[in-house]
């Protein structure tokens, strides 16, 4: 089929043709949730499907064991458009962020384009980007390894409780604050010890006090990841894992000075020492390419799903897609798979991510992504407009 003949009906039919496989892959990943950089089953399922569809697969890639790149090269030179797949899960919650749908829907979109446009110019790539959750920063690692060199634009979608063509994301620093004290018998001679857990508790109280005096856009939240091993031993070591988020990376970096001061203060008050380190790279804010987001939205609406343009007042969480959006044009729209108000990273969202309704909506999202990919390959003006917006 020539590019001039390609229609939404053709793309819809191509996605429909892989719907059964898409759902099977999604449910297989959902049933075996794997944490960041341990997504071996998901990688195997996704790359196996892509190889069967005629994509050339390389795995691992970029020094990341569970990453992959699968490409379908066209008949002549042209753009390289990447569809991104995320497939890591959350501790305790499993696929409460719906990454099973992101991965299966993204692969379905890429395969649909290659089937509907077998003689396309350029390259359709699927890039498996593991470790998005928990500060893993898989996309950052792959970008630093050169995996995105030569990619002209990247697309993906995210499931949620509402549909949006674009949504801002917060910048985020991922910290581990460790306190070192002195162990002692907690009953016989506690005065000989210096409690690292007391320092961690005081630090968290300081963070609570800090919340009143930061902008309302700031998010400070953490857990005690190490609080000691036995009640009758004064803990000589304790740790707090903390995320520091705000609208921009610049603001986050400034906030880190105050967080470090709080850790030092807690250590001083308890006779311990504090060390503040990063558990992953800083995630930047998100630059959504509205030229491409609009094309996605037009397609989704044509398929009967209402989708709002954006929601700048209610940003999403944080993602390494933000770092990638600083390097090239990207889209990260949201498609509703659960009742409005269903929180992300929850048991309810995990259950929704395996529902028939979620797979119906993922089929719509895959068609929207396929439309954007096909148009980027075949419409030079669209890619030029996306690049112009990115440059501005």
pTM of the model: 0.93
Q: Based on the domain organization, do 339 and 379 belong to the same domain?
A: yes
Rounded Cα–Cα distance for residues 35 and 134 (Å):
9
Residue 296: alpha-carbon gap to chain centroid: 19
**Which residues have C-beta within 8 Å of that of residue 257, sequence separation ≥ 6?**
none
Count of structural domains within the chain: 2
Q: Based on the domain organization, do 272 and 318 belong to the same domain?
A: no
Regions of the chain where pLDDT drops below 50? 1-4
Q: Based on the domain organization, do 111 and 154 belong to the same domain?
A: yes
Q: Which residue, 267, 283, 299, sits at the end of a domain? A: 283
Q: Based on the domain organization, do 304 and 375 belong to the same domain?
A: yes
Q: Based on the domain organization, do 81 and 197 belong to the same domain?
A: no
Q: Spell out where 234-373 has E strands.
A: 237-246, 273-283, 308-310, 330-331, 334-336
Report the candidate in 134, 140, 136 with the shortest Cα–Cα distance to residue 284.
140
Collapsing DSSP states into helix, strand and coil, what is residue 82?
Answer: strand
Q: Which residue, 249, 283, 317, sits at the end of a domain? A: 283
Q: Based on the domain organization, do 57 and 196 belong to the same domain?
A: no
Rounded Cα–Cα distance for residues 262 and 210 (Å):
9
Q: Based on the domain organization, do 198 and 326 belong to the same domain?
A: no
Tell me the CATH number at 190. Answer: 3.30.70.360
Q: Based on the domain organization, do 253 and 148 belong to the same domain?
A: no
Query: Residue 314: how many CA atoms within 13 Å on its side-chain side?
Result: 5
Tokens of 184: 């002692």
Residue 295: what pLDDT? Answer: 98
Q: Based on the domain organization, do 24 and 152 belong to the same domain?
A: yes
Q: Could you give the C-alpha distances from 217 to 9, 88, 169, 173, 248, in angstroms and in order?
A: 43, 27, 11, 15, 10
Q: Which residue, 283, 298, 333, sits at the end of a domain? A: 283
Range of the domain at 244: 171-283
Residue 3: what pLDDT? Answer: 44
**Which residues have C-beta within 8 Å of that of residue 261, sequence separation ≥ 6?**
none
DSSP 354: T
Tokens of 289: 């390419």
Q: Based on the domain organization, do 99 and 66 belong to the same domain?
A: yes
Tell me the CATH number at 135. Answer: 3.40.630.10
Q: Based on the domain organization, do 114 and 39 belong to the same domain?
A: yes
Q: Based on the domain organization, do 89 and 164 belong to the same domain?
A: yes
């Amino acid at each position: 089929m020539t590019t001039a003949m390609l229609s939404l009906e053709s793309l819809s039919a191509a996605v429909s043709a892989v719907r059964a496989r898409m759902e099977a892959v999604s449910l297989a990943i959902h049933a075996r949730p794997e944490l960041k950089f341990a997504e071996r089953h998901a990688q195997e399922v996704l790359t196996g499907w892509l190889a069967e569809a005629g994509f050339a697969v390389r795995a691992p890639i970029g020094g990341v064991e569970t990453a992959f790149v699968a490409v379908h090269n066209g008949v002549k030179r042209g753009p390289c458009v990447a569809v991104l797949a995320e497939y890591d899960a959350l501790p305790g919650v499993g696929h409460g962020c719906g990454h099973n749908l992101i991965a299966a829907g993204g692969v379905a979109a890429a395969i649909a384009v290659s089937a509907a446009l077998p003689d396309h110019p350029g390259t359709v790539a699927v890039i498996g980007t593991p470790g998005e959750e928990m500060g893993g920063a898989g996309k950052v690692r792959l970008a630093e390894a050169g995996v995105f060199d030569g990619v002209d634009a990247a697309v993906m979608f995210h499931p949620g409780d509402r549909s949006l063509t674009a949504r801002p994301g917060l910048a985020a620093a991922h910290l581990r604050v460790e306190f070192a004290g002195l162990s002692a018998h907690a009953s016989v001679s506690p005065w000989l010890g210096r409690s690292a857990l007391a320092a961690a508790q005081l630090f968290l109280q300081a963070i609570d006090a800090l919340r009143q005096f930061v902008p309302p856009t700031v998010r400070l939240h953490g857990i005690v990841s190490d609080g000691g091993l036995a009640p009758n031993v004064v803990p000589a070591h304790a740790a707090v894992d903390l995320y520091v988020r705000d609208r921009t990376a610049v603001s986050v970096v400034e906030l880190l000075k105050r967080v470090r001061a709080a850790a030092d203060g807690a250590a001083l008050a308890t006779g311990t020492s504090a060390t503040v380190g990063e558990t992953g790279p800083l995630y930047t804010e998100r630059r959504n390419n509205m030229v491409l987001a609009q094309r996605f939205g037009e397609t989704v609406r044509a398929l009967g799903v209402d989708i709002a343009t954006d929601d700048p007042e209610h940003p999403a969480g944080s993602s390494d897609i933000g770092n990638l959006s600083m390097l090239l044009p990207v889209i990260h729209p949201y498609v509703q798979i659960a009742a409005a108000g269903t929180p992300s990273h929850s048991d309810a969202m995990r259950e929704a991510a395996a529902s028939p309704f979620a797979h119906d909506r993922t089929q719509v999202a895959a068609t929207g992504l396929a439309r954007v990919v096909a148009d980027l390959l075949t419409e030079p003006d669209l890619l030029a407009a996306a690049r112009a917006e990115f440059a501005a």
